[in-house]
Amino acid sequence: MTDGTAACGSGPGTRRVLLAVHTGRSDIVQLARSAAARLTAAGIVVRLLDDEAEAMAVPGAEVCAFGPAASDGVEIVLVFGGDGTFLRAAELARNTDAAITGVNLGRVGFLAETEPEAVEEMLTAVENCEYEVEERLTLDAVVLDADGVPTGAETWALNEVSVEKVERSRVLDVVLEVDGHPLTSFGCDGILCATPTGSTAYAFSAGGPVVWPDVEALLLVPTNAHALFARPLVTSPTSVLTVAVPPDGTRARVSADGRRIIEVPDGGRVEVRRSDRPVRIARVNPTSFGDRLVAKFGLPVRGFRDARSHGPGHEAPTTRVNVLTGDVNTSDGVLRTPEEVRRGHEDGAA
């Protein structure tokens, strides 16, 4: 991890920020325009992607094509959108030293950590270089043919590499290997090879574990496996995960972060390993991952001694009284003494 001062650099050169914006929503465009105006006023050059520049209409902004060169000379990529927009921006930043941070304008949004009401604080942090940069583990995936020869098709992922069936009506039979050793085989809809960052994405929906993003590990999560043993696995970050598909014509493909698709030949295999090129994510808030997990999913954090349940999604009011003293939270949410409960309260609550 590096701090913002190191990320900004020590030279007097021009600072540049690339904006990646979900232009399909007018409220997001308006917020991004406001951010661009403030950054420009602070002497920071704003760069836009050519397919977003017309909708953004930012005076004096640089415009570039979508591609690896878009982040050349850029200090940070600011994302305005959901995790899909963030993953798109990661394609631009990964080949340079640019860091990424985002404003969550989607749904859950684990990648984009700043909420819309905190945009001004985020911009202040960027202007003053008051942020830290985390390097997030990514994956490389290589496709091999039935003879074990690389086909030349390869990709990478920040969240997950999914080896999945193409035909909805078929079951995909797979053989799983870890570090060249066969582990198990079964029929399924697919296999997810995920990073800790991706553990709160597709792998989470498939029943995988939540892994803190600073943990170095690889995840292997089956999706809808027809097997007695199909548990999610957590392996060493240096492991090579292999998914082999049969030569019987059941078609499979690789989907990387849901954005890049590669076909797998009959009888082929997919090897997934840790990439030597991470994605750099700028953290402008001191909030821990655990706190974000609680906030994103609305997790209950009160112990049973502090609250009694009134049904799913409802917690009784907390009190300063220890429940072991005998006071009772009644059905109307009011704390009453055992004596009041025994004789019945005048309002009928019990």
- Write down the domain spans for the chain: 2-136+280-295, 139-277, 304-350
173 labeled part of a ligand binding site:
no
Q: What is the CATH number of domain 2-136+280-295?
A: 3.40.50.10330
Cα–Cα distances (Å) from 158 to 31, 86, 281, in that order, read 26, 10, 11
83 is catalytic: yes
| Ramachandran sector of residue 328 (left: φ over 0; alpha: ψ -120 to 50; beta: rest) | beta
Known binding residue 350? Answer is: no
What's at 4, amino acid-wise?
Answer: G
Residue 311: pLDDT over 70 = no
Q: Rounded distance, CA 69 to CA 80, Å?
A: 20
Question: Mean pLDDT in the chain?
Answer: 87
CATH class of the structural domain 139-277: mainly beta
> What is d(CA 103, CA 85) in angstroms, rounded to the nearest whole number?
10
The average pLDDT across 149-153 equals 96
Rg (CA), the chain: 25
Tell whether the model's pLDDT for residue 224 goes beyond 50.
yes
User: Any binding-site annotation on 252?
Assistant: no
180-222 tens-digit pLDDT: 999 999 999 999 999 999 999 999 999 999 999 999 999 999 9
Q: What is the pLDDT of residue 306?
A: 61
The verdict on whether residue 194 carries a ligand-binding annotation is no
Considering 83, 147, 214, 291, which one is annotated as catalytic? 83
Residue 23: its pLDDT value, please? 95
Q: How far apart are CA 345 and CA 130, in angstroms?
A: 57
11 CB contacts (<8 Å, ≥6 apart)? none
How far apart, in whole angstroms, are the C-alpha atoms of residue 285 and residue 278?
21
Q: What pLDDT band is residue 339 in, cutting at 50, 70 and 90?
A: low
Give pLDDT tens digits for 233-281.
Answer: 999 999 999 999 989 878 999 999 999 999 999 999 999 999 999 999 9
The lowest-confidence range among 45-59, 175-189, 281-295 is 281-295
Given this model, what pLDDT does residue 320 score? 42
Find out whether 160 is annotated in a ligand binding site: yes
pTM score: 0.82
159 annotated to bind ligand:
yes
**pLDDT tens digits, one per residue of 68-101:** 899 999 999 999 999 999 999 999 999 898 999 9
Lowest mean pLDDT among 2-6, 53-57, 69-73, 302-306: 2-6
